Amino acid sequence: MDKNARKIKAKKAAGLRKAVQAGWGILSNAYIQGFLPGDPVIYQGNLKQVCVPGMNCYSCPGALGSCPIGSMQAIFDSRNRGIGAYVIGYLAIIGLFVGRFICAWLCLFGLLQELLYKIPTPKLTVPEKIDRPLRYLKYLMLFVMVFLLPFFYRSQYGAGEPFFCKYICPVGTLEGGIPLVLLNSMMRGALGWLFRWKFLLLILCVAASVFIYRPFCKYICPLGAFYGLFQKVSLIRMRVDREKCVDCGICAGTCRMNVDPRRMPNSNECIRCRACIHACPMQALSMGIGPGQTQMQRQAGQAAKDVKEQ
Amino acid sequence: MKREAPLKVTIALIPLAMALCVLGICRGEVATVLAKAINICMECIGLG
């Protein structure tokens, strides 16, 4: 396939991915009644027993499902101090099947960041010295703000707090806070320092997204951190065919999450957007079930089978 | 390149994750999730 044909194919694939992201975003926030002005009404049906796989605030007026990160904290900070087995197990099943595939395909906040990055401005490459340690911040968010603090902290009245949702999450401000405040005058009267703080974080996140590709996903998102833990054991994995790879580095140059698929095809940072697969001129990259085998390994396996049969 | 887990590991982990999910359901965690999700979460939207 020549360079131009590859480019067209990659563009089409990227368009399809964005359409899936947008479609999923609309589908999971399709409770129209919630967007009508007046008293705030959110969906209260049984669908909210189930979490959506991506970041999506359950207080968004249109939300039909629950936020996995919010739900996890709600179980931890409840009075009977749950162990979060339902949500952890549910997310682990998703992680074991597809890893961080959800981040690229079914996360509305991810799509928003990608669209902001399309604004034509000079783009910023975070120096590796800063980028590498910052990547660990999302694990800190997961273990401290989502697991430890909601589980152990109790106020003098015995109530826990969803620390990540309350003090950090810009998704809640964007999808829940802003629409509800705009639609309801009583809520506008209740705005205080917390809303201002969270609004500031949202503005910083939006501004950073114009210059850096998916900064929230790279550095902050606890859900991405959780799914990332399953990348190397998930059913669906990236594969590199070593016999076809000519080490040209085009895949690494294409990856906006700064992953080098030649060295770490199933890095915790890969969101499985498939951009590298479409960019590879040798078709050495693919996505399939399990670690996969190279042509040489397949031949060796077949030869061993033949010897056994004889 | 680091060695990756064989498929057997993945296949063994999936029932474990399912069991964890079922354990949570049996402990009544679904009701906790629903109770939180059907009311506006004031902390999440920055008002609480």
State yes or no: pLDDT of A302 exceeds 80: no
Angle, vertex CA A185, rays to CA A181 and CA A188, nearest 5: 50
Residues A20, A108: Cα–Cα separation, whole Å: 10
Lowest mean pLDDT among A3-17, A43-57, A239-253: A3-17
Backbone dihedral angles phi then psi of residue A284, each to the nearest 5 degrees: -85, -15
Residues A152, A277: Cα–Cα separation, whole Å: 44
Mean pLDDT for the stretch of residues A238-244? 93
Share of chain A above pLDDT 70, in %: 95
Predicted local distance difference test score (pLDDT) of residue A140:
97
Q: Are B21 and A86 inside 8 Å of each other by CB?
A: yes
Option in B10, B20, B45 nearest A235 (CB): B10
Q: Are A74 and B32 inside 8 Å of each other by CB?
A: yes
| Closest CA–CA distance from residue A309 to any residue of chain B (Å) | 24
**CA-based nearest residue to A76, from A150, A149, A164, A140:** A150
| Closest CA–CA distance from residue B15 to any residue of chain A (Å) | 9
Q: Which residues contact A45 (CB under 8 A, 6 or more apart)?
A: A64
Is the Cβ of B12 closer than 8 Å to some Cβ of chain A?
no
Predicted local distance difference test score (pLDDT) of residue A162:
94
Chain A residues near residue B9 by CB distance under 8 angstroms: 233
Chain A residues near residue B24 by CB distance under 8 angstroms: 75, 82-90
DSSP assignment of A18-72:
HHHHHHHHHHTT--GGGGSSSS-----SGGGGSB-SS---TTSTT--SB-HHHHH
State yes or no: pLDDT of A293 exceeds 70: no
A18-67 per-position pLDDT tens digit: 999 999 999 999 999 998 877 778 999 999 999 999 999 999 999 999 99
Predicted local distance difference test score (pLDDT) of residue A257:
96
Predicted local distance difference test score (pLDDT) of residue A154:
86
Predicted local distance difference test score (pLDDT) of residue A291:
83
Q: In the structure, what pLDDT confidence band is assigned to residue A88 with cuts at 50, 70 and 90?
A: very high
Predicted local distance difference test score (pLDDT) of residue A297:
60
All domains of chain A, ordered by start, with CATH?
3-228 (no CATH), 236-299 (3.30.70.20)
Tokens 């501004």, located at residue: A207
Residues A99, A233: Cα–Cα separation, whole Å: 8
Q: Is residue A153 a contact partner of residue B29, using CB atoms and an 8 Å limit?
A: no
Average pLDDT for chain A? 92
Q: Is residue A42 a contact partner of residue A63, using CB atoms and an 8 Å limit?
A: yes
Share of chain A above pLDDT 90, in %: 78
Q: In the structure, what pLDDT confidence band is assigned to residue B8 with cuts at 50, 70 and 90?
A: very high
Is the Cβ of B25 closer than 8 Å to some Cβ of chain A?
yes
Q: Are A291 and B25 inside 8 Å of each other by CB?
A: no
Lowest mean pLDDT among A5-9, A76-80, A99-103, A211-215: A76-80
Strand, helix or coil at A270? Answer: coil
As a whole number of Å, the end-to-end CA separation of chain B is: 47
Predicted local distance difference test score (pLDDT) of residue A6:
85
State yes or no: pLDDT of B11 exceeds 90: yes
Lowest mean pLDDT among A82-86, A97-101, A267-271, B34-38: A82-86
Residues A182, A202: Cα–Cα separation, whole Å: 16
**CA-based nearest residue to A266, from A211, A228, A301, A217:** A228
- Compare A146 and A290 and report the one with higher pLDDT: A146
Q: In the structure, what pLDDT confidence band is assigned to residue B46 with cuts at 50, 70 and 90?
A: confident
Structure tokens at A216: 């929230």
Chain B residues near residue A262 by CB distance under 8 angstroms: 1
Option in A51, A96, A264 nearest B2 (CB): A264
What length is written for chain A? 310
**Cα dihedral: A66, A113, A268, A257 (round 10):** 170
